[in-house]
Amino acid sequence: MKREEKVMVTGFSGLQDDEVIFRRPIRSGFTLTELLVVIAIVGLLAGLGIPAVNRGLDAAKTAGCANNLKQMGIAVQRFAAEHDGYLIKSWFNQGPNFPNGGNDWDYSPADWAGWDRVVLDTLELGTMGPNGKRVYTEKTASLCRCPADKTKGNVFSNYLVGVGAIPNSYRFNASMQRVGEEKAVKMVSIPSPSKLILVVDGVFKSYHHVRTDDAVDIGKISPSNSNNVATTRHGGAANYLFADGHVERLKWADTWNKSAPGADPSWGLWRQ
């Protein structure tokens, strides 16, 4: 819609005869066509921007997960340095041979002492309880929560005695601990620590480990059985912590690559 406004231009002489009158249109708002064009542009920009924002958020979550695993790697290395070179076990961390041997580590025989609790204790997270044990909440144990894990109520406490709630986004690879023995593994006994997976992006079940020779499906993994690993949590892949402390984002098939330098010819990156 347009309206016209009269504009007076006075000549230099200042006389009325020199006054010139012309009309110019004044806009009072957008036309319908202009409004539709603006809406289309805004929609196009939003369509381009939202996927980019989502990709950025996903990348940040993947990086946050990798940082969690790197901190766990630091805890594993620190634990080994303080315990004659032994790696943390998936559970039974009362001693390197417990329950078939003595409890000469830091936990009582009454504890299951899962790997996640040992990691958190080694990093001195949580608060010290009256019984001398560190106590955790989902917040203080957030290291065990992958930022990309959307599972609600994913908390592990079944095998933890009086230490609170620990998130369960990750699983420990117990393949180096032979079934029925549960003996700890020394770092020096691993031929290629950079080719041995130690902790994985996992799915929540009543156990918190994976194992190539597990007798039950609840922890078993194989090239055709990835039910216990969150194999697509990070853009079609998952994050993996290796025994030497580094983290890689890999697709499931790549973890079974038996031809990779340093990988085991029978078990890929899962066992040596």
Model confidence pLDDT, tens digit, residues 131-165: 888 999 989 999 999 999 988 777 776 556 678 88
Distance CA(214)–CA(192), nearest Å, equals 23
Backbone angles phi, psi at 128, to 5 degrees: -75, 125
* Residue 72 pLDDT greater than 80, yes or no: yes
3-state secondary structure at position 62: helix
pLDDT band at 7 (very low <50, low <70, confident <90, very high): very low
Here the tokens at position 153 are 């109520």
Higher pLDDT, 224 or 163: 224
Distance CA(11)–CA(14), nearest Å, equals 6
pLDDT band at 24 (very low <50, low <70, confident <90, very high): low
Give the pTM: 0.79
Residue 144 to residues 10, 56, 199, Cα–Cα distance (Å): 81, 22, 11
**Highest mean pLDDT: which of 8-22, 33-47, 56-70?**
56-70
| Lowest-confidence region among 13-17, 86-90, 211-215, 235-239 | 13-17
Distance CA(184)–CA(174), nearest Å, equals 10
Here the tokens at position 170 are 């990750």
